[in-house]
Amino acid sequence: MPDTLEAPKSEAPQENQGPVVVFDDVSIQFTRKPVLKNISFTVERGETMIILGPAGCGKSVLMKLVDGLLLPDSGSISVFGQRIDNLPEREMFKIRARVGMVFQESALFDSMSVADNIAYRLHEERMPEEEARKKVVEVLHFVDLDQAIDKFPSELSGGMRRRVSIARAIVSSPDLILYDSPTGGLDPITSTTIIELVVKQRDVSHATSLMITHRLQDAFTLARNRFNPETNKMEEIRDGGIDESTRFLVLNDGGVVFHGDTRELVHTEDPWLKDFIS
Amino acid sequence: MPVALTESFAKNTVAAIQEYSLLAGRAVANMFSPPIYWADIFTQMDSIGVGSVPIVILTGFFTGCVLALQSETALEQFGAVSKTGSLVALSMVKELGPVLTALMLSGRNASGMASELGSMKVTEQIDAMRALGTDPVRKLVTPRLVATMFMLFFLTIVSDAVGIAGGALVSVTLLGLNATAYIHSSYASLAYGNVVEGLTKALFSGFIIATVGCFYGMRTEGGTQGVGKATTQAVVVSSVFIIIVDFLVSRLMISIFGS
């Protein structure tokens, strides 16, 4: 398994400053039902933001707003310092070229092989076939799925599909990675494998990322572990330490109930939050 | 509340028409700007066009057969059985060839497009495509539109030809007509305007099948149940549109060519 992948693409100097994602008073509703109400938060460069909350509280909607797949009814959203809430779809593609997204149910293209799924963006960018194939092999090796290159999504297990989905999201070395419930519906062992992959990606590429999870255990694994390139394994940070770049955003009933780091979350006095994380 | 229901229905209808018009407009505009997904266009041509050849041949052939058989009774009363070829050819080329072929393709392909795109929508593959930097209308709708319009044009010609051949078979074997007289009567009765009318209908029908099928597919909601609903709606709406547009084009062609 390779220990390193390409670092995120170099950016223009002025874009290296400031937060990667900024939500300012964002609201959205579907058929008169508010989903997110006046949400504000920021995600700094290199940060891993874990998004928690009960089912149906708008986590996936928030993720789609970050990638411009949905537009807010009010408020502003900036990604890489650029307002995206009023951007035409064509202009949005330039932002999305720097974002990788892992969908809840993997969303692999059924009619394409694993290799073609992963190389999809590279083909769209007109990368020469030989170079694209090399990158696909490299990234499949990273997610430990070398043998699946010529298979079709229907031949893969749930865990393998998620790993292919992660491979597709990171193949172009994006600056921002969005994981929408990468462990949802998986058994605990497979979930740990996927979280190990997320930790590995975080510690190897240092890309900014947002991750939705329903499993608190996964969230704390991410906060309390690091990837050791020497042993090629995830291991607990010594002396009960935590990863300082990992932060939490907890949503409930369409609003933000918590935004802070692991220690603040663990020591919260909010009764609802205490109950939620217990 | 009936007023509220009427208002909601009117709003939804106007919104759907607006959404359909935007989708159709974008699908057409994409034909004239890069990137054009040629591989997808050829794949769709194979799936929509070549894959539909057997049903189009069978439908066209037996329509021609039954047309000859049924017309014999009526024509006999006027001593005009020799005009069977003319009647079959005109009916097939102007009306039955284009309309029946379009309805068959609607049943086979509008449903296929709605279910395929609907499945992609509910499994977030359309969103994934957008997230990966591709315009789904350009990648999914435009190739289907080009392929359907192009292939339906030629499938209609095939249907017309086998329909006339079917009519000939029945006329010669069952009605005892002379084969040469049948062919001559068929050929002589067809004017330039008749062929243009039939093929114009094919182009309009192709547009309807692809845009309606893709429209219902792209707006699918509600999981597998939604896919089933989208498929049914696509077939029903495209079939009704085909018949309505058939009437409008017929009226237009009569005003242009005279008959």
Tokens of A129: 């076939």
pLDDT for residue A15 is more than 70: no
Contacts with A208 (C-beta within 8 Å, 6 or more apart), sequence order: A20, A21, A43, A44, A45, A46, A47, A48, A175, A176, A177
3-state secondary structure of A111: coil
Q: Which residue of B has its CA nearest to A95?
A: B133
Of B124, B125, B134, the CB nearest to A124: B134
The mean predicted confidence, pLDDT, of chain A is 90
Q: How confident is the model at residue B79 (pLDDT cuts 50, 70, 90)?
A: confident
Q: Output the pLDDT for position B1.
A: 55
CATH number at residue A18: 3.40.50.300
Confidence of residue A6 (pLDDT cuts 50, 70, 90): low
Q: In 3D, which of A178, A181, A166, A207 has the Cα closest to residue A63?
A: A178
φ and ψ at residue A5, rounded to 5 degrees: -120, 165
| pLDDT score for A14 | 46
Share above pLDDT 90 across residues of chain B, in percent, rounded to a whole number: 86
Residue-range definition of the domain harbouring residue B48: 2-257
Say if strands A21-30 and A176-180 run parallel, antiparallel, or are unpaired.
Answer: unpaired
**How far is residue B248's CA from residue B241's CA, in Å, rounded to a whole number?**
10
3-state secondary structure of A207: coil
Q: What is the ipTM of this complex?
A: 0.89
- Section B34-56 average pLDDT: 95
A155: nearest Cα among A127, A96, A115, A191: A115
In the β-sheet with A82-83, what is the strand arrangement from edge to edge? A33-43, A21-30, A74-79, A82-83
Contact (CB<8Å) A109/B128: yes
User: Whole domain around residue A179: which residue ranges?
Assistant: 13-98+174-277
Q: Is residue A247 part of a domain?
A: yes
Kindly state the tokens that stand for B61: 């052939």
Quick one: angle between helices B111-122 and B223-257, nearest 10? 140
pLDDT value of residue A1? 42
Over residues A126-178, the pLDDT tens digits come to: 999 999 999 999 999 988 899 999 999 999 999 999 999 999 999 999 999 99
- Counting residues of chain A whose pLDDT is more than 70, the rounded percentage is 94
Mean local confidence (pLDDT), A78-82: 95
Number of domains in chain A: 1
Residues of B in contact with A101 (CB under 8 A): 128, 131
Taking only the tens place, the pLDDT of each residue in B186-200 is: 999 999 999 999 999
Q: What's the average model confidence in pLDDT over B10-27? A: 95
Q: Which of A89, A90, A107 sits opposite B128 (nearest CB)?
A: A107
B132 touching chain A per CB within 8 A: yes
Whether A168 and chain B come into contact, CB under 8 Å, resolves to: yes
Q: What is the mean pLDDT of residues B196-222?
A: 96
- From residue A135, how far is each of A121, A138, A160, A193 by CA, in Å? 12, 5, 18, 22
Residue A169 lies in a domain: no
Per-residue pLDDT tens over the stretch B141-175: 999 999 999 999 999 999 999 999 999 999 999 98
Q: Does B135 touch chain A (CB under 8 A)?
A: yes
What pLDDT score was predicted for residue A9? Answer: 55
Classify each residue of B114-125 as buried b or exposed e, where b means 16 or more C-beta atoms within 10 Å of its C-beta: bbbbbbbbbbbb
Cα separation of A106 and A237, whole Å? 30
Mean pLDDT of B28-49: 95
Indicate the Cα dihedral angle A77, A82, A83, A89, nearest 10°. -110
State both tokens at A245. Answer: 């770049």
A173 phi/psi in degrees, rounded to 5 = 50, 65
pTM of the model: 0.90
Instruction: Provide the residue type at B239 as one letter.
Output: S
Output the average pLDDT for chain B.
94
The number of distinct structural domains making up chain B is 1
Nearest to B133 among A93, A109, A168 (CB): A93
The tokens describing A94, both together, are 């330039």
